[in-house]
Structure formats: structure tokens, C-alpha cells
Amino acid sequence: MYESVDKAKRKKIWFLILGGVIVLSIGIIYWQNRSISKEEANRTKMEEQLALLATEIKSLKQQNYIVTSKKDSLQNNLNYLWQYKPLVQASKFRDDVGANFNFHPGDRVRLKSDSSVVVLTDILIGGNRYNYFIKFIAKNTKGMMVELTPLEIEKIN
């Protein structure tokens, strides 16, 4: 009879252990399913945020394209006038150098070589970093254009 009691206790212990293992495994499975569902919910939220960021990036790229391609009206005007920059700089340089002389376009001057009177029409200034020249273009009484250096002419009083 002692053995049958032991068997009954052993059965109860095994049933309790087995029941505990089953309850524990059910709890672990439930916990894993719950954490997986939370992760999936987080993943769907992140995917929605990623989609929103992708649309925002697309709109920013489109706005950047519009700004870089069309630019403002001032830039368009500058692009149109930029080709004339060397001409404007050369004219300004010519005017600055010409302001230092006693002779200006439109003045009547006398040639030192033959004392004939000519009218200055323009100033020619040129050269590079190491060499330069200054010449006056004048119209003589015959209507011909003549290039003269500043040393060849004198101002008429």
C-alpha cells in the first residue's frame, strides 16, 4: 500500500510539473506573440513615417529643382548682361585713363609734325600685363582717320 501512495504522489508531482511546464510554455508563447504584435505595430508606424518622409523629400527635391532651374529675375538679368562685362570693364578703364590727359574726344588739337589742326574722335588703349599703348584717333581736314600718340599732339589754347 505504501507503494501505491508513492505512485499516486509521483503521478500528482508529474502532473503538477507537466501542468507547470504547459502553463509556463503557454505564458512564453503569449508573451512572444504580444511582443511580436507590438513590434509589428511599431514597424507599421515607422513605415508610415518613412512614407511621409519620402513624400517630404520628394517635394523638397522638386522645390530645389524649381529654385535652381528658374532662379530669380535678377539672376536672369545678370545672365543676360554678363556677356557685356568685358566691354563695360574696357570702357571704364578707357574712361579712367583718358581722364588723366588734357585731351578728350571732341577736342581740337595741333599736330606737332606739321602744325595742322585735327579733331580727336576716340581714345585707343590696349596692351597686356607687361606692355600697353595709348593712341588717339583723330580726323584731319581731308576726313581721314589718323592714329596719333599723346607725344605727337598739343592742345590748342
Residues 4-15: tens digit of each pLDDT = 668 778 888 888
Topology of domain 101-155 in CATH is SH3 type barrels. (2.30.30)
Residues 101-115: tens digit of each pLDDT = 888 889 999 999 999
pLDDT at 66: 81
How far apart are alpha carbons 151 and 78 in whole angstroms?
41
19-47: average pLDDT: 87
22-38: average pLDDT: 87
Answer yes or no: are the C-beta atoms of 137 and 120 closer than 8 Å.
Answer: yes
Q: Which residue has the higher pLDDT, 106 or 94?
A: 106
